Structure 1
Amino acid sequence: MRLSAASAKLLKEEWGNTGALVVGRHLYDMTNAWGGRHPMDVTTVVLTHRPPQDRPVADENFVLVTEGIEAAVAKAQEIAGEKTVVVNGGQMARQCLGAGLLDEIGIELVPVVLGGGTPLFADLGATPAQFDGPTTLVEGTGVTHIRYRVKE
């Protein structure tokens, strides 16, 4: 992966402080479980309603959780210890935001208009979402990294 110096510095710091990830089953399947280990080289908690039959429920690479977003985040926090838990975008981020489980959101703004896709915060329902910041604003080459704190 080719990054500008500014992007590389930010991501090195953030990835170095990441202790576990939370992703949904759709991303897990779409990436074919990243070939067996997530590129960030941390244990990944997968929230699913239907665990795959060909994989163990837990190992050093993946932990499959079926009890809901709160249980998935709690498991990731247990794994991460003092480090940060990162929640992948889309459905997992929406569920965490709705459950009050997000402290911060990160957006990688790239100047490309796709014309379709799923909005990051679609279907929040009655959940109000307010943010402080930006707390971090880093201009890379072809991308702006923006971080906001979630207001309680």
Structure 2
Amino acid sequence: MGKNRKLINLMTTVLILSFIFSIGSVNLAEAPSEDKKPFPKEERITKSLEQLVEKGVLKPEDVEKINNYLKIEREEKRKMFEQMKNMTEEQRKEFIRNYRKDKVDLWEKMVDDKIITKEQADEIRKLLPHHRHEGCKRKQQ
């Protein structure tokens, strides 16, 4: 019985120490900063847009317009999620259901807002197929 007790004490000590070290490493982790490099998703979009500039599909000023548009869209989405913080769980669920139901394809929205042409949007979708929102409403042709 003494052997089992020593084993239990050893396991308990190991668990406690691992817990303490994991908490310590969390405190040492650097908080994310907005001045750091962009998210991988943004880097992929930028690289894809640069490829389209090289192909002659987009001009550098088009890329700048797209990036500004995306920045505005991200800010609007951030504000929307800030509003959700003050909602109850049921209100959030309803809000998200409505948001998904009314969601519009981003590239189609840029075409409607005259940021890019339909042809440019189609080329962007070819390079960024994971950004095509199948569930989004698209204009009927």
The reply to whether TM is greater than 0.5 is no
Structure showing the higher helix proportion among its residues? 2
Q: TM-score, normalised by structure 1?
A: 0.25
TM-score (norm 2): 0.26
Pair member with larger Rg: 2
